[in-house]
Amino acid sequence: MKKIITSVLVLLAALPLAFADGKKEAYVIGFYNLENLFDTYHDDGKNDYEYLPDGANQWTEDKYEKKQHNMARVIRAMADENGTFHTLLGVSEIENRHVLEDLVSQPELAPANFQIVHYDGPDRRGVDVALLYRPENFTVIESKSIPFTFENSNVEFSLSKEEQEDFRTRDILMVRGLLGGEMFAIFVAHLPSRTGGKGGDLRSRGGEIMYAEANRLMDEFPGIKIVCMGDMNDNPTDDSMAVYMHGKEKIADVGERDFFSPFVSMLKAGYGSLPYQGQWNIYDIIVTNSAVVNPAPGTLGIIPIVKKKFYARIFHQPFMVQQEGQYKDQPKRTYSNGTFINGYSDHYPTYIVVSK
């Protein structure tokens, strides 16, 4: 894979967005890792001590308010480019519902009238996933938080039974509803970390859980359209996505129970949503089922939005990029080497567009 080089970032910044040419109905569906969006108060049972005023990060109300503004600025910048706010935006690395209520009430985002689906999860660090949605476009029918378990799996685990019982990570969120009058199910995930070079089996299990739940919905609701998104901590070519989620690079190869993985071709072309160990990767993945890529006539389906060729977008603008120093040309994050630099996130957001 290509190493981190300025030319890749220039390429990303220069992409024209061919957004729904002449389409009457078009909806943006995306994902954004908000990188440790914590408030300044301790939540019982959560390891949020770094993000307290007297913690390691000296996380004050002033820093919290700047972080909220920065997250809102990015989401608003996507809306300005697209001419519309996201209809559905999955987010990760959020501490609780309160931080999302503060986010959606920011002046940049208030016009979107975003509503929230969130469940408190068991993650030891205290971060969850959630879905923001616009109620004028999407009507929620049901939602649930799917626990990460080890039962009924085909994955060979490196953890012992005792370690499995003690393991805690983010739940996977599922929200089913009506988008433009059509039934959609949205999954939002934040699969286990790569810290220490481990966890490939755990991320494969995460893909396996999502795929099983998606199949259950396709059995129960024939024709349902499904979008799975998240920080998978894997590339779309890794086993979690390519094998256990049945992700396919080409639409022509997507069978009835497969998923279209638009970031495979983008990864091969040198795009990235975050750097890791000296290389660009795409961990911020969105995949869709066959009903989205092969829609019935007159119904919503995924459309190409980058160079009229790629079916997904990795979004960034210069203000989101570190302009100098050791991490020049990488995402401008909140902290750098322990110092608050008033940045955004260590991930770039990604999205797709569905249209009739």
260-187-285-153 Cα dihedral, nearest 10 degrees: -80
Cα(17)–Cα(83) distance, rounded to whole angstroms? Answer: 11
Q: Which pLDDT value is given to residue 23?
A: 58
Indicate the helix (H) or strand (E) that contains 321.
none
- 14 forms beta bridges with none
Q: Which pLDDT value is given to residue 4?
A: 41
Q: How far is CA 199 from CA 12, 153, 165, in A?
A: 30, 15, 16
Instruction: Please provide residue 252's backbone torsions phi and psi, each rounded to the nearest 5 degrees.
Output: -60, -20
The residues, any chain, with a CB within 8 Å of residue 67's CB and separated by 6 or more, are 37, 334
Q: How far is CA 251 from CA 90, 248, 283, 310, in A?
A: 24, 7, 20, 11
pLDDT in tens, the chain (356 residues): 344 433 343 333 333 344 555 556 899 999 999 999 999 999 998 999 999 999 999 999 999 999 999 999 999 999 999 999 999 999 999 999 999 999 999 999 999 999 999 999 999 889 999 999 999 999 999 999 999 999 999 999 999 999 999 999 999 999 999 999 999 999 999 999 998 777 999 999 999 999 999 999 999 999 999 999 999 999 999 999 999 999 999 999 999 999 999 999 999 999 999 998 889 999 999 999 999 999 999 999 999 998 889 999 999 999 999 999 888 999 999 999 999 999 999 999 999 999 99
Instruction: Please provide residue 231's backbone torsions phi and psi, each rounded to the nearest 5 degrees.
Output: -85, 100
- Chain centroid to CA 172: how far? 12
- The answer to whether the beta carbons of residues 271 and 12 sit under 8 Å apart is yes
**Strand, helix or coil for residue 54:** coil
Cα(36)–Cα(354) distance, rounded to whole angstroms? Answer: 29
Instruction: Please provide residue 144's backbone torsions phi and psi, each rounded to the nearest 5 degrees.
Output: -155, 160
- Which among 325, 348, 342 has a CA at the least distance from the CA of 276? 348
Q: Which pLDDT value is given to residue 195?
A: 82
Q: How far is CA 207 from CA 23, 117, 148, in A?
A: 33, 21, 10
Whether the predicted model's global pTM rises above the 0.85 cut: yes
What are the strands, taking DSSP E only, across 12-137? Answer: 26-37, 88-94, 115-118, 128-133
Q: Give per-residue burial for 71-109: e unless 16+ CB within 10 Å, then b.
A: bbbbbbbbbeebebbbbbbbbbbbbbeebbebbbebebb
